[in-house]
């Protein structure tokens, strides 16, 4: 094969497969758009949809051309020998087959990942490695067409291989151009290759003359559903890998950087509760319950007559303090657990290299030093994410997980799944611990009933669930999901029934919240974007403690997980210095400006902000809804959010490994 002919054939094949793989990417993006974006959202946000495809195709082109760099360079090397020119296109076909399999498999992963989590592939995907891998795979095999997905990917790979062989053997590619003289042919080849190389490099960069296509450019809309469809799934996976690696970088930090971040974020690092004689002489039991998938988005469907999602918890929601303009620290269980209990943006800090380091100002140590017995109760396994050992490192005394609880209540074994046991057995043990306690208890709880694979005890009597929720929850297991949600809430409500009917009702403080939104639900309209991410905060604080400390309840107050411990500590421990992370007592008397933080969404008195240049104002000062029209985000808001996020990483390093000296 002549060098000039080989060169033309090489460039033609590379160009052909850029077009073929871009076609695959466009089809995949259209399928995602049709499957996961409501038609009304599309109609009302046409400019955002245009940017979705504009930047989405740019990300696709960057991935496709980057994948083809190897055969492109190898092809140029093969110019040098006759053997290389003869063998290259056979190798090229096999390589295109492999690329076809990989691309198709990532498109399928992206499709089902979005179906489960309503987000692009992110750091949470590493739960497959860090969590119960066997259990996750069992659920995937049972609930999702994994085998068919693999077969489909192989079919796409074979199609790519077949097309490559056909293109390589095509007799029509004898000469893309044929100038009359050798010199003209040489000049034409050089010009043609330089032009092709220019466009190829632009494809790899995702841009011609500007900066390379960056992660921040995937934020094309104020609606997160649209933003999550922008990146190519392989690009999103690469970002997740980088986030995962960065999450375990622990080294001493510069105190001056911390001071600057605190100033820009407008928060405090540590705070101290006021001195209070009543709290010193009357230490209450303190319980903090982190409930699986206890999201406000599902509670939007709650209807006491036809679709009761609260069960026995309803009357306690009516009697006590409940905040709904409230956000979880993150959008996954491990990340929210770490953020809430340790103030850590590193989801699996219990498995990190600082897992033996005590975090300054953590609640477990604070309660332990004040004479409390510190207990961790989980319906799952205490070894999950290393939390059992890590809580002991932070000051915990006793750990009870599914295995221990089954030893105490063997009947729970019947309902055990790979993830744990029904919640009611956790509350049953907690009742016993409270009744037998000789000193005040601080108990943190992690429930599991509302997690796939959902399982409900045979003896449980359902409250009405008659409403058709097919549109809101297209999952074929929707009835079981609703039942599990109700069961989890009802089990907690029955525990509260016990507390309020016991002699301990005047000396127990209880807080409960969700770890993240309810997944699989179709997102609510954009005006309810806050509800799409929010969780309730429930507080039961006996009257003597409210009177001793003082309180003001405003259900419209903004808050997030960072505010829970400042609230609990204010009503239980006197004169204690604690890590506040900018959190405030949700029942304080003052009228301070508050904000709510989640890894995706930020809310303050202005409205909600999700990055970029815009924020959405509230429909009213106490509303959970936002206006349709966005406003330009002030620089102070952008600086505050950026600084707070950066501070999360700064403070966890400062508290675990210290400051530069």
**Residue-by-residue DSSP string for 9-77:** HHHHHHHHHHHHHHHHHHHHHHHHHHHHS-HHHHHHTHHHHHHHHHHHHHHHHHHHHHHTHHHHHHHHH
Q: What is the pLDDT of residue 172?
A: 55
Q: Give the DSSP letter of residue 517.
A: P
pLDDT score, position 515: 96
pLDDT of residue 238: 87
Q: What is the largest CA-CA distance in the chain?
A: 103
Strands (E), 515-621: 537-540, 559-560, 577-579, 596-597, 602-603, 607-609, 614-617
Task: State the pairing for strand pair 607-609/602-603.
Answer: antiparallel
pLDDT, position 7: 77
DSSP 8-state code for residue 216: G
Calpha distance 487→296 (Å, rounded): 16
Nearest to 233 by CA among 134, 382, 114: 114
* Residue 218 pLDDT: 77
Question: Chain centroid to CA 112: how far?
Answer: 15
pLDDT digits (tens, 9 = 90+) for 242-267: 777 766 678 899 999 999 999 999 99
Cβ neighbors of 101 (< 8 A, separation 6 or more) are 153, 154, 156, 157, 160
B/e letters for 224-262, b = 16+ CB within 10 Å, e = fewer, are bbbbbbbbbbbbbbbbbeeebeebeebeebeeeebeebb
Burial class (CB in 10 A: 0-12, 13-18, 19+), 359: buried
| Rounded Cα–Cα distance for residues 15 and 18 (Å) | 5
Cβ contacts of 118 within 8 Å, gap of 6 or more: 36, 225, 228, 519, 520, 521, 523
Phi, psi of 596 (to 5 degrees): -120, 135
Could you say which residues of the chain have pLDDT below 70?
1-3, 84, 123-124, 127-143, 170-187, 208-211, 216, 219, 222, 246-248, 661
φ and ψ at residue 618, rounded to 5 degrees:
-70, 150
Pair 399, 388: CB distance under 8 Å:
yes
Which residues lie below 8 Å from residue 264, measured CB to CB, with a gap of 6+?
639, 640, 642, 643
Question: Could you say which of 1.10.540.10, 3.50.50.60, 3.40.720.10, 3.40.1160.10 is the CATH number of the domain covering 270-377+416-603?
Answer: 3.40.720.10
The residues with which 607 forms a beta bridge, in sequence order, are: 617
Instruction: Give the Cα separation of 485 and 254 in Å (integer).
Output: 45
Report helix, strand or coil for 400: strand
Give me the residue spans of the domains in the chain. Answer: 3-244, 270-377+416-603
Which pLDDT belongs to residue 194?
A: 84
The tokens for 516 are: 């993240």
Q: Are 525 and 40 in contact (CB under 8 A)?
A: yes
- List residues bridging with 500 in a β-sheet: none
The model carries a pTM of 0.78
Is residue 109 within a helix (H) or strand (E), and if so which, with residue range?
helix 82-117
Among left, alpha and beta (phi > 0; psi -120 to 50; other), residue 474 is alpha
């Amino acid at each position: 094969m002549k060098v000039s002919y080989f060169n033309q054939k090489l460039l033609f094949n590379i160009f052909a497969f850029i077009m073929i793989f871009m076609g695959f990417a466009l089809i995949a993006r259209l399928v995602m758009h049709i499957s996961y974006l409501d038609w009304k959202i599309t109609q009302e946000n046409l400019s955002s949809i245009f940017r979705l495809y504009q930047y989405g195709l740019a990300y696709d082109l960057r991935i496709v051309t980057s994948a083809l760099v190897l055969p492109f360079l190898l092809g140029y090397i093969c110019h040098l020998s006759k053997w290389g020119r003869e063998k290259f296109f056979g190798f090229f076909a096999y390589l295109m087959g492999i690329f076809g399999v990989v691309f198709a498999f990532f498109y399928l992963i992206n499709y089902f990942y979005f179906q489960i989590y309503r987000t692009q592939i992110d750091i949470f995907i590493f739960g497959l490695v860090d969590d119960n891998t066997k259990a996750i795979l069992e659920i995937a095999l049972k609930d999702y067409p994994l085998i068919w997905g693999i077969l489909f990917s192989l079919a796409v790979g074979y199609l790519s291989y077949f097309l490559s062989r056909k293109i390589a053997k095509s007799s029509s590619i004898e000469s893309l151009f044929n100038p009359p003289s050798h010199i003209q042919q040489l000049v034409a080849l050089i010009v043609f290759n330089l032009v092709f190389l220019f466009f190829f490099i632009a494809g790899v960069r995702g841009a011609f003359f500007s900066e390379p296509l960056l992660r921040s450019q995937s934020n094309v809309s104020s609606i997160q559903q649209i933003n999550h469809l922008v990146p190519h799934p392989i690009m999103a996976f690469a970002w997740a890998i980088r986030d995962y690696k960065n999450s375990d970088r622990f080294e001493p930090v510069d105190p001056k950087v911390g001071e600057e971040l605190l100033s820009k974020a407008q928060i405090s690092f540590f705070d101290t509760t006021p001195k209070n004689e009543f709290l010193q002489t009357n230490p209450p039991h303190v319980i903090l319950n982190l409930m699986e998938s206890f999201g406000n988005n599902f509670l939007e469907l709650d209807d006491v007559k036809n679709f009761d999602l609260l069960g026995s918890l309803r009357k306690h929601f009516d009697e006590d303090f409940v905040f709904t303009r409230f956000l979880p620290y993150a959008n996954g269980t491990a990340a929210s657990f770490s953020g809430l209990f340790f103030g850590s943006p590193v989801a699996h800090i219990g498995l990190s290299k600082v897992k033996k380091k005590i975090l300054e100002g953590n609640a477990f140590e604070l309660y332990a030093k004040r004479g409390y017995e510190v207990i961790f109760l989980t319906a799952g396994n205490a070894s999950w994410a290393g939390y059992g050992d890590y809580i002991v490192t932070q000051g915990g005394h006793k750990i009870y997980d599914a295995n221990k609880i089954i030893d105490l209540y063997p009947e729970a074994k019947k309902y055990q799944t790979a993830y744990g046991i029904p919640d009611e057995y956790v509350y049953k043990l907690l009742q016993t611990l409270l009744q037998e306690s000789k000193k005040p208890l601080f108990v943190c709880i992690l429930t599991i009933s509302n997690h796939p694979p959902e399982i409900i005890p045979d003896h449980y009597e359902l409250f009405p669930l008659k409403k058709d929720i097919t549109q809101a929850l297209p999952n074929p297991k929707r009835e079981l999901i609703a039942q599990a949600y109700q069961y989890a809430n009802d089990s907690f409500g029955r525990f509260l029934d016990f507390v309020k009917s016991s002699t301990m009702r005047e000396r127990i403080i209880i807080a409960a919240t969700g770890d993240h939104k309810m997944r699989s639900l179709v997102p609510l309209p954009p005006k309810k974007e806050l509800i799409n991410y929010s969780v309730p905060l429930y507080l039961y604080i006996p009257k003597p403690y409210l009177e001793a400390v003082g309180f003001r309840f405003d259900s419209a107050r903004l808050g997030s997980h960072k505010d829970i411990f400042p609230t609990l500590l204010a009503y239980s421990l006197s004169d204690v210095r604690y890590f506040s992370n900018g959190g405030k007592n949700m029942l304080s008397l003052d009228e301070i400006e508050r904000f709510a933080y989640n890894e995706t969404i930020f809310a303050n008195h202005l409205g909600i902000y999700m990055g970029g240049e815009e924020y959405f104002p509230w429909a009213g000062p106490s509303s959970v809804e936002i206006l349709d029209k966005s406003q330009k985000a002030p620089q102070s808001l952008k600086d505050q959010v950026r600084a707070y996020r950066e501070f999360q990483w700064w403070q966890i390093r400062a508290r675990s490994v210290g400051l530069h000296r």
